[in-house]
């Protein structure tokens, strides 16, 4: 077992049903971030502090997932979660050449400004398959597997029970929560429309699934028997206390941990979080082809008229990849996907350990 520095010791906050299920002392989950925003360092810091650190692996190859789980085990001896996206019906990585060329031309001014090459059709098609990702993740057997955007495949539930892996599913509506419980998940993350990043609706369109966290949580708690984790718009101890009072067994916090120096977010991204600029967020398809919540910037405003014209995920995600990476490397926030929830202006702690401690201390105070 590797040696780790002693974590901060926050005041007592009961682990609740979720903490007991997963084996963590604090009912706090660090939200998983995709697209390079997760880091082993961040997940390990949260787990070492008594919460559940998470890592978003939906862009990883099976081989990378195997190495990732090994790296997380080396970094912490405590429970952690690895997250995957369930594919959504109708999404495809291939478009006719003429159609793909039109989408490239729409973005050509940005490629040229940043001096990057547009992706080829082969680049767009090159993405890991979900089935192979899931097989690798099951074989690696992390303590917790979490999913967004759909129901767990039956083989995951069966193998997870056999191997002692906890399975989390993410719901944006009460109906999705019920479907997840029926599919065999061990706990449900109730993700309100306040949450940053990609919306995970899978039974109805996103526009029909925009339920605020503090409306969603008590309804989900009444509708399912498994533990409920509240997610979305929770960025300080007051939000933690409110979610627990409404029937949640734990909370999942994303943006606040994204602002910590251990995250994989670029410096340009982190500089926006915790500022008045972060008080405004929008849902946009422009960066990936799927609706996601973030702070609007120059690119979002310039391209607003094309919102419904961009291709679906994963094509738009691949087309935007070179632009996002170059902008992040050069400190150009006007072209970075500034994912953030609606409480992003409250994200002010510089480290994961300090933030986790502040969440717990604030929740204890707020609960009286």
- 111-139 average pLDDT score: 93
The widest CA-to-CA distance across the chain, in whole angstroms, is 62
Single pTM value for the model: 0.94
* Lowest-pLDDT choice from 11-15, 231-235, 273-277, 314-318: 11-15
H helices, E strands: number in the chain:
15, 11
- pLDDT above 70: residue 23: yes
Cα(176)–Cα(204) distance, integer angstroms: 9
Please provide the average confidence, as pLDDT, over all residues in the chain. 94
Cα(330)–Cα(345) distance, integer angstroms: 24
Say which DSSP state 254 is in. Answer: -
Cα(114)–Cα(327) distance, integer angstroms: 7
- pLDDT above 50: residue 122: yes
User: Does 62 map to a domain?
Assistant: yes
User: Does 336 map to a domain?
Assistant: no
Give pLDDT, residue 7.
Answer: 53
Which pLDDT tens digit goes with each residue over 61-73? 999 999 999 999 9
Give pLDDT, residue 92.
Answer: 78
Cα(97)–Cα(121) distance, integer angstroms: 8
Classify residue 11 as exposed, middle or buried by CB count within 10 Å of its CB (0-12, 13-18, 19+).
Answer: exposed
What backbone torsions phi and psi does residue 56 show, to the nearest 5 degrees? -85, 120
Distances (CA, A) of 259 to 186, 212, 343: 29, 22, 12
- pLDDT above 60: residue 4: no
User: Does 109 map to a domain?
Assistant: no
Which pLDDT tens digit goes with each residue over 28-84? 999 999 888 999 999 999 999 999 999 999 999 999 999 999 999 999 999 999 999
Distances (CA, A) of 198 to 206, 217, 218, 285: 10, 19, 22, 9
Say which DSSP state 315 is in. Answer: H
Residue 51 near residue 256 (C-beta atoms within 8 A): no
Residue 45 near residue 53 (C-beta atoms within 8 A): yes
Q: Comparing C-alpha atoms, which of 62, 194, 56 is closest to residue 128?
A: 62
Residue 99 near residue 71 (C-beta atoms within 8 A): no
User: Does 243 map to a domain?
Assistant: yes
- 328-345 average pLDDT score: 96
Give pLDDT, residue 1.
Answer: 45
User: Does 169 map to a domain?
Assistant: yes
List the end-to-end C-alpha distance of the chain, in Å, as a whole number.
38
Give pLDDT, residue 8.
Answer: 46
- pLDDT above 70: residue 11: no
Give pLDDT, residue 93.
Answer: 75
Cα(204)–Cα(126) distance, integer angstroms: 28
Residue 76 near residue 1 (C-beta atoms within 8 A): no
User: Does 22 map to a domain?
Assistant: yes
Which pLDDT tens digit goes with each residue over 316-331? 999 999 999 999 999 9
Which pLDDT tens digit goes with each residue over 247-290? 999 999 999 999 999 999 999 999 999 999 999 999 999 999 99
Q: How many domains does the chain have?
A: 1
User: Does 101 map to a domain?
Assistant: no
Which pLDDT tens digit goes with each residue over 192-227? 999 999 999 999 999 999 999 999 999 999 999 999
Residue 256 near residue 235 (C-beta atoms within 8 A): yes
Q: Catalogue the long-range contacts made by 203-206 (C-beta closer than 8 Å, 24 or more residues apart).
A: 203/173, 203/175, 203/176, 203/179, 204/173, 204/175, 206/172, 206/283, 206/291
CATH number at residue 47: 3.20.20.70
Q: Comparing C-alpha atoms, which of 198, 218, 206, 180 is closest to residue 31?
A: 198
Q: Quote the domain boundaries for residue 214.
A: 16-96+129-278+349-367
């Amino acid at each position: 077992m590797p040696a780790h520095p002693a974590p901060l010791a926050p005041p007592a906050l009961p682990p609740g049903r979720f903490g007991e299920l997963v084996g963590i002392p604090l009912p706090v989950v660090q939200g998983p971030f995709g697209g390079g925003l997760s880091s082993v360092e961040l997940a390990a810091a949260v787990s070492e502090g008594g919460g559940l650190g998470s890592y978003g692996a939906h862009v990883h190859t099976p081989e990378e997932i195997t190495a990732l789980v090994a790296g997380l085990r080396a970094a912490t001896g405590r429970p952690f979660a690895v997250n995957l996206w369930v594919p959504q019906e109708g999404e495809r990585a291939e478009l006719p050449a003429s159609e793909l060329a039109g989408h490239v031309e729409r973005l050509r001014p940005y490629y040229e400004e940043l001096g990057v090459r547009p992706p080829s059709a082969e680049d767009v098609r090159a993405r890991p398959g979900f089935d192979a990702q899931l097989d690798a993740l099951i074989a690696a057997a992390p303590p917790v597997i979490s999913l967004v955007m759909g129901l767990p495949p039956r083989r995951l539930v069966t193998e997870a029970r056999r191997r002692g892996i906890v399975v989390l599913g993410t719901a944006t509506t009460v109906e999705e929560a019920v479907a997840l419980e029926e599919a065999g998940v061990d706990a449900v993350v109730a993700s309100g429309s306040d949450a940053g990043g990609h919306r995970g609706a899978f039974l109805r369109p996103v526009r029909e699934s925009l339920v605020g966290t503090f409306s969603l949580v008590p309804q989900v708690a009444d509708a399912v028997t498994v533990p409920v984790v509240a997610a979305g718009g929770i960025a300080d101890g007051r939000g933690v206390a409110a979610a627990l009072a409404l029937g949640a067994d734990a909370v999942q916090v994303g943006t606040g941990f994204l602002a910590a120096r251990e995250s994989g977010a670029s410096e340009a991204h982190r500089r926006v979080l915790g500022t008045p600029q972060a008080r405004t967020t929008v849902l946009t398809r422009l960066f990936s082809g799927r609706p996601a919540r973030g702070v609007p910037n120059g690119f979002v405003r310039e391209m607003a008229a094309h919102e419904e014209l961009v291709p679906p995920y994963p094509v738009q995600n691949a087309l935007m990849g070179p632009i996002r990476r170059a902008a992040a490397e050069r400190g150009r926030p006007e072209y970075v996907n500034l994912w953030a929830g609606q409480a992003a202006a409250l994200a002010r702690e510089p480290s994961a350990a300090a933030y986790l401690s502040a969440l717990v201390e604030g929740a204890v105070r707020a609960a009286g």
